[in-house]
């Protein structure tokens, strides 16, 4: 039986492509496809992923609903939090050790998607 191993990409709506690209770039993603004037853009962590795809929608076409959270594992939660703040972003939380065994912080992207960056507490630095 084939097992699912990882997520290659997640596609999120963006109501302002330039602001979304700037947000994800500030967090270390690189532009792989599209751009500020595109209706579809891919931001990548590494050349082969994982990727965040952004699809442009007007605010009239965005359903305002709670959908959940995307969690990315990173090498250093505190360093990325500092990077985000230095870039003018406003995380929703400070880096925190969670009861489920991860250090994390949460932030909303420009369209309001709930994004979290975490590192298992039992992993090597």
How many domains is the chain built from? Answer: 1
How far is residue 27's CA from residue 87's CA, in Å, rounded to a whole number? 9
Quote the domain boundaries for residue 27. 9-58+68-120
Tens digit of each residue's pLDDT (9 = 90 or more) over 2-53 = 676 777 889 998 999 999 999 999 999 999 999 999 999 999 998 887 899 9
Q: Is residue 25 part of a domain?
A: yes
CATH code, domain with 77: 3.10.180.10
Q: What number of helices (H) and strands (E) belong to the chain?
A: 2, 8
Tens digit of each residue's pLDDT (9 = 90 or more) over 59-70 = 665 555 556 788
Q: Is residue 53 part of a domain?
A: yes
Q: Is residue 14 part of a domain?
A: yes
Tens digit of each residue's pLDDT (9 = 90 or more) over 94-121 = 999 998 899 999 999 998 889 999 999 9
């Amino acid at each position: 039986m084939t097992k699912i191993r990882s997520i290659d990409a997640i596609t999120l709506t963006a109501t302002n492509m330039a602001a979304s690209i700037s947000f994800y770039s500030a967090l270390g993603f690189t532009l792989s496809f599209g751009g500020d004037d595109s209706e579809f853009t891919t931001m990548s962590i590494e050349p082969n992923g994982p990727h965040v795809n952004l699809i442009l929608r007007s605010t009239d076409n965005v359903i305002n609903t709670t959908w959940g959270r995307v969690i990315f594992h990173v090498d250093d939660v505190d360093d990325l939090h500092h990077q985000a703040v230095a870039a003018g972003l406003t995380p929703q939380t400070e880096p925190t050790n969670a009861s489920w065994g991860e250090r994390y912080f949460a932030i909303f992207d420009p369209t309001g998607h709930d994004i979290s960056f975490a590192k298992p507490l039992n992993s090597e630095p």
